[in-house]
Chain A
């Protein structure tokens, strides 16, 4: 009985610790769809911030990020992740435009 109790406590303690120190990508406690959302929204926010500072952000990206967070909060993880990925794609495209904007000129 003592052995069973000790083993149970050890496993419980270790799994709690694991949740604390493992990076989210390796944290099996949150589930894979939660990881995908965190990655997508993090990337979208970072690239959107870069697009904003280059004055080349797209009109709806900020609203999409907000909406994705709202969906995630409501437990609609798949829809939230899909929207976060869309927002990230917008931010990537905005940065692509920014990379050539400085040398833009007439074509006549």
Chain B
């Protein structure tokens, strides 16, 4: 009996320690502080434009593209029409699109899982139409872009509060910093420690602000894609096998990834090279 009590108390202490060890505020401070130290001349608010905040030449090109008709404009408008057409506003979670963008991702304590904006859109779409929706491009990316546009100018503010949320955040953090694939590199190796440096002809984008403009239009894709589509691409580049978009691992990573950009403005300028 004594042994059993000791075991239960030890287990409780272990769980308590894991939750107590999570200090999201300190993590954000350290993460954002790192970028400030590395790039002292870059304003915090400028990280909303990602890599274009770090390279003047690229920024000029980016601004030129935005001065004309951005290549994603039509797709985003179509996303708005599809939002109406499929009756997505009838779902309580999407009734106020701007609020929906700001509320996601969040940890659903009842379901014990991270809920992403794309996850909510897909669920609502199925409720309204009885059909399934993809996860990486097409309708999901257009609708999600249009919803995000409604919150442009607002600041990312991911909340990590419950023990379940903290555990998901910690899992996402580990995924972000874990080395993987044949190149034995983590997300952080490129987008934190080497952000702003060149990988072949490309400048590595800073992870701070990565989620301000998602889903993003990529010239390489010739269209809009979700954040999880991009995760898959990065995995492939590291010669790791990509996980399924909207898998629990990617959702947890998005939870961490978005939280690191708390305070950065959501942007409708979703063009990236």
Q: Answer whether residue A106 sits at the interface, using C-beta atoms and an 8 A cutoff.
A: yes
Q: Which residue of A lies closest to B171 (CB)?
A: A102
Q: Answer whether residue A103 sits at the interface, using C-beta atoms and an 8 A cutoff.
A: yes
CA distance A94 to B49 in the complex (A): 35
- A106 surroundings in chain B (CB, below 8 A): 30-31, 34, 177, 188, 192
Q: Answer whether residue B181 sits at the interface, using C-beta atoms and an 8 A cutoff.
A: yes
Binding stretch for chain B, among A2-10, A26-34, A57-65:
A57-65
Q: Known: A62-B241, A108-B34. Is A102-B174 also a contact (CB below 8 A)?
A: yes
Is there an interface contact between A55 and B243, defined as CB atoms closer than 8 Å? yes
CA distance A58 to B178 in the complex (A): 14
Q: Answer whether residue A52 sits at the interface, using C-beta atoms and an 8 A cutoff.
A: yes
**B residues near A, CB below 8 A?**
30-31, 34, 173-182, 184, 186, 188, 192-193, 235-236, 239-243, 247, 249
Q: Known: A106-B31, A108-B34. Is A58-B177 also a contact (CB below 8 A)?
A: no
Q: Known: A55-B243, A102-B174, A104-B174. Is A60-B182 also a contact (CB below 8 A)?
A: yes
Is there an interface contact between A101 and B178, defined as CB atoms closer than 8 Å? yes
Q: Known: A106-B192, A108-B30. Is A59-B177 also a contact (CB below 8 A)?
A: no
Is there an interface contact between B184 and A60, defined as CB atoms closer than 8 Å? no
Q: Known: A56-B180, A59-B236. Is A104-B241 also a contact (CB below 8 A)?
A: no
The 10 A-B residue pairs whose C-beta atoms are closest, nearest first, are: A101-B178, A104-B177, A104-B178, A57-B241, A59-B239, A108-B34, A104-B174, A59-B241, A105-B177, A55-B249
Q: Answer whether residue A81 sits at the interface, using C-beta atoms and an 8 A cutoff.
A: no
CA distance A107 to B236 in the complex (A): 24
Interface centre among B174, B178, B179, B249 (most CB of A within 10 A): B178
Query: Min CB distance, B48 to chain A, in Å?
Result: 22
Is there an interface contact between B182 and A59, defined as CB atoms closer than 8 Å? yes
- B30 surroundings in chain A (CB, below 8 A): 106, 108
Is there an interface contact between A97 and B241, defined as CB atoms closer than 8 Å? no
CA distance A101 to B253 in the complex (A): 13
CA distance A94 to B236 in the complex (A): 14
Query: Min CB distance, B168 to chain A, in Å?
Result: 14
- Considering only residues 57-104 of chain A, those with a C-beta below 8 Å from chain B are 57-62, 90, 93-94, 97, 100-104
* B239 interface neighbour in A52, A58, A105, Cβ under 8 Å: A58
Is there an interface contact between B174 and A58, defined as CB atoms closer than 8 Å? no
